[in-house]
Amino acid sequence: MDRFDIGLIGIAVTFLLVLLRTPIGIALATTSFVGLWALTNINAAFGMLKAVPYQFIANWSFSAVPMFLLMGFVASQTGLTTGLFRMMRVLLYRVPGGLACSSVGACALFAAASGSSVATAAGMGRIAIPEMRKAGYAYSLSAGCVAASGTLGSLIPPSVILVIYGVFTQAPIGQLFIAGFIPGLLTAVAYIAMIMVVVKINPSMAPSTRIELAEGEFWDAVRESWPLPVLVIGVIGGIYAGIMTPTEAGAVGAALACIIALTRRTLTLKQMLSALKETALGTSSLFVIAMGASMFTTFMGLAGLPAAISDNIKALGTDPLTLILVIALMYITLGMFIDSLGIMLLTLPILIPLLDAADINMIWFGILVVKLLEIGLISPPFGLNCFVIHSLLRGAASLPTIFKGALMFLAMDVLVLVAMIIWPEIALWLPSQMK
C-alpha cells in the first residue's frame, strides 16, 4: 500500500470516527498516530506525538485565546452585557419587528465580547426570547432570530475561531479580526432588513405593540450598556491603530473587563473564580482539537496527499471561482453534521496547498470560511445553535419550528456569502487601511 492510499484511508477513518460522535480532537490524533506508524515506525510515531502538538500549541499567538475567553466570561458573569438588549430596544422600538431587530443588534454587540457563536446564542437567548414571547412574537421568529444572530460570535472580532485559523494558516490575526468587521455588520443589517420585510408581509409573526419610552429611559439604557462598547473600542481600536497585537489586545481586554466590573462593583471573588474555571475548560477543549489537527497536518504531509491533490487540481485547470464554490458546498454539507472548529481543522491541511496553488488571499478565505461555518450552525439536521436555543426553551418550541425560523436568516447568510465572493473588498478593504 503506497503513501497516498494510507492518507485516503486516514481521511475516511477520521470522518467515520467523527460521524460516530468521537470527540474531534481524539479522532484526529488517533488516526494521525496510526497513520504515522504505518508510514514510518512506532518510535517515529511516538516521537511526533510528543513533539508536533507541543510545537504547535507553543505558538505565542495562541495565548490570545484564553485572554479573549476570559474577557467574555468576565463581561457575561458581571453583568456588563445585560443592558445591550435594552439599549437596542430603545433605539429600534419604532421599526417593524423591533424586538427581533433589537435581538440582532444586541447579539452583534455581545459577539464582540464573547468570541463564540454558541455563547452568544445562549447568552442573548435567555434575555431576548422571553421579551419577544411576552410581546406575542412567534417562536419561529423569536427563537430562529437568536439562533441565527448568535452565529455573529464567530465573525465579529475578537473571534476565537479566527485566532486558531490565523495560527494554522500563518495569516495575520490582527488583519483577520478587522476583516471580519464589515461582513459581520453587513450580516446583522441583512438580518434586520429581512425581519422588517417578513413582519410587513406577515404581521402575525410580530404583533405591533405601542411602546412608549419613559422619561429618561434612553439615558438609563446608555448608562447600563456603556461598558461593552468601551471594552470593544479599546480592544479592536487598539488592534486597528497598530497600538497592540491581538495577543496584547486580549490581555488588555481581559484586564479592562475586570476593571470596569470592579468600578461598577459587580465583580466578586466567586464570579472571578467561575470565569477563570470556564476559561480553563474552554481553552483546554479548544487546544485538544488544535493539537489533534496539528498531528493530522503532519500525517497528511507525510502521506503526500495535499501535494497530490494540488497537482491534480492544477492539471484539471480548475479556476479559483470553481474551487471556492466546491469548497463552499463541502463546508455547508459538513456543517450539518460536525462542529465548526472541527470542520475547519479537519479540512485545512488538505485545502491550504490548493489555495496556495490558486493564489487565493488567505485573509479573505478565512472570513469566507467563518461565514460558511455560520451557515452550518443553523442548518438542519444538526445545527448546533438551534439545539442550544431548544435546550434553553426546555421544549417550549419544537426543533422543526426553530429550524424553520433560522432558515429565513440562512437565506440572508447566503446573500452575504455571494456578495463576498463577487466583491472580496467587503472583507479586504478595512484591513488594507490598518496602520
What does the pLDDT look like over 297-344, one tens digit per residue? 788 888 887 777 767 666 666 678 888 888 888 888 777 767 677 778
Give the model's pLDDT for residue 420: 93
Tell me what the mean pLDDT of segment 364-383 comes to: 85
Tell me what the mean pLDDT of segment 198-208 comes to: 84
Checking if the pLDDT of 16 tops 70, the result is yes
Q: Using H for helix, E for strand and C for coil, what is the string for the chain?
A: CCHHHHHHHHHHHHHHHHHCCCCHHHHHHHHHHHHHHHHCCHHHHHHHHHHHHHHHHCCHHHHHHHHHHHHHHHHHHCCCCCCHHHHHHHHHCCCCCHHHHHHHHHHHHHHHHHCCHHHHHHHHHHHHHHHHHHCCCCHHHHHHHHHHHHHHHHCCCCCHHHHHHHHHHCCCHHHHHHHCHHHHHHHHHHHHHHHHHHHHHCHHHCCCCCCCCCCCHHHHHHHHHCHHHHHHHHHHHHHHCCCCCHHHHHHHHHHHHHHHHHHCCCCCHHHHHHHHHHHHHHHHHHHHHHHHHHHHHHHHHHHCHHHHHHHHHHHHCCCHHHHHHHHHHHHHHHHCCCCHHHHHHHHHHHHHHHHHHCCCCHHHHHHHHHHHHHHHHCCCCCCHHHHHHHHHCCCCCCHHHHHHHHHHHHHHHHHHHHHHHHCCHHHHHHHHCCC
* Averaged confidence pLDDT in the chain: 83
Give the model's pLDDT for residue 429: 92
Q: How far is CA 389 from the centre of its chain?
A: 16
Report which residue type is found at 125: G
Give the model's pLDDT for residue 367: 93
Give the model's pLDDT for residue 179: 92
Give the model's pLDDT for residue 317: 61
Q: All 3 cell numbers of residue 140? A: 419561529
Checking if the pLDDT of 132 tops 90, the result is no
Structural domains counted in the chain: 1
User: Tell me: the pLDDT tens digits for 90-109?
Assistant: 777 778 888 888 888 888 88
Give the model's pLDDT for residue 313: 66
Tell me what the mean pLDDT of segment 359-387 comes to: 85
Higher-pLDDT residue of 29, 55: 29
304 in Cβ contact with 7 (< 8 Å): yes
Give the model's pLDDT for residue 215: 62
Q: Is the dihedral of CA 138, 141, 143, 144 positive or negative?
A: positive
Checking if the pLDDT of 210 tops 70, the result is no
Give the model's pLDDT for residue 385: 81
Give the model's pLDDT for residue 314: 65
Give the model's pLDDT for residue 368: 93
Confidence grade of residue 416 (pLDDT, cut at 50, 70, 90): very high
Give the model's pLDDT for residue 318: 65
For the full predicted model, state whether its pTM sits above 0.85: no
Checking if the pLDDT of 216 tops 70, the result is no
Q: What is the CA radius of gyration of the chain?
A: 22
Confidence grade of residue 214 (pLDDT, cut at 50, 70, 90): low
Checking if the pLDDT of 257 tops 70, the result is yes
Q: Of 114-123, 210-219, 232-241, give the lowest mean pLDDT range.
A: 210-219
Higher-pLDDT residue of 423, 326: 423
Give the model's pLDDT for residue 103: 87
Give the range of the structural domain holding residue 40, as residue numbers without chain letter: 3-432
